């Protein structure tokens, strides 16, 4: 006889994007994330993020060992339209 499985306890399979979003939002404020994770969170293609890095339109990023990372706080600020580069260059 096969034991029955309680549907509430059945394993859940998340898409790669959903898992990345979950990891991002559960992480501490000071955490850093890959471009793929930020692409999932912002619902942008990684190529779009790359274009934004070149044009200066995207969130601030860190380059370490040839890889691109983003601080969670920078991504959230950018998503809210709070670009620290604009504030720094604004006339006083």
Domain carrying residue 68: 16-85
Q: What is the pTM of this model?
A: 0.78
Residue 36 contacts residue 20 (beta carbons within 8 Å): yes
Confidence of residue 81 (pLDDT cuts 50, 70, 90): very high
Q: How confident is the model over 1-23, as pLDDT tens digits?
A: 566 777 778 788 999 999 999 99
Strand order of the β-sheet with 67-71 is 32-34, 67-71, 62-64
Q: How confident is the model over 45-60, as pLDDT tens digits?
A: 999 999 999 999 999 9
Kind plus residue range of the DSSP H or E element containing 62: strand 62-64
40 inside domain: yes
Q: Is a pLDDT exceeding 80 seen at residue 88? A: no
Residue 71 contacts residue 60 (beta carbons within 8 Å): yes
Distance of CA 59 to the CA centre of its chain: 10
Total domains, the chain: 1
Q: List, in sequence order, every residue forming a beta bridge with 32; answer none if it has no partner.
A: 71
91 inside domain: no
User: Quick one: what percent of the chain has pLDDT higher than 70?
Assistant: 85
68 inside domain: yes
Q: Is a pLDDT exceeding 70 seen at residue 87? A: no
| 34: helix, strand or coil | strand
- Domain of 27, CATH number, reads 1.10.1660
8 inside domain: no
């Amino acid at each position: 006889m096969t034991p029955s499985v309680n549907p509430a306890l059945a394993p859940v399979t998340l898409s790669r994007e959903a898992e990345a979003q979950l990891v991002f939002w559960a992480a501490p404020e000071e955490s850093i994330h890959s471009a793929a994770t930020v692409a999932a969170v912002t619902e942008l293609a990684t190529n779009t993020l790359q274009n934004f890095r070149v044009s200066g339109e995207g969130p601030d990023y860190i380059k370490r060992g040839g890889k691109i990372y983003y601080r969670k706080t920078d991504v959230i600020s950018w998503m809210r339209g709070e670009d620290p580069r604009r504030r720094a260059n604004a006339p006083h």
